[in-house]
Amino acid sequence: MKKPVKCVKAIPYQDILDIKEVLERMKSLEKALLLLNDFFSDQNIPVNKKKIIRDYYACGKIYHSYFKEMENMLNILEKQICVLTEKQSISC
């Protein structure tokens, strides 16, 4: 019995570079996530209320901008993947 031959889609190199660029942008947000992680995992007792209020506002702004950027990048990736899946297959 012969194994079925799988066809591969023709994917232009530029499409691969576009996806790589979005992934690099997502990776660049890693430091902001680490900062937010430090803030929310702080278990110091006694609690410094003034510091928490000051840091909460800053972390809220970071989170909001991060969330909008991540949502935008996920939409871009979703569109790029849809385009790639619709590409013509290479004949077997």
Rounded Cα gap, residues 42 and 70, in angstroms: 25
Mean pLDDT of all residues in 40-44: 75
What are the structure tokens assigned to 53, written together?
Answer: 């209020």
Rounded Cα gap, residues 51 and 37, in angstroms: 16
What are the structure tokens assigned to 10, written together?
Answer: 């023709």
Burial of 18 (0-12, 13-18, 19+ CB in 10 A): middle
Q: How confident is the model at residue 18 (pLDDT cuts 50, 70, 90)?
A: confident
Q: What is the pLDDT of residue 17?
A: 87
Position 91 pLDDT exceeds 60: no
State pLDDT tens for residues 48-85.
788 788 888 888 888 888 889 889 988 988 888 888 87
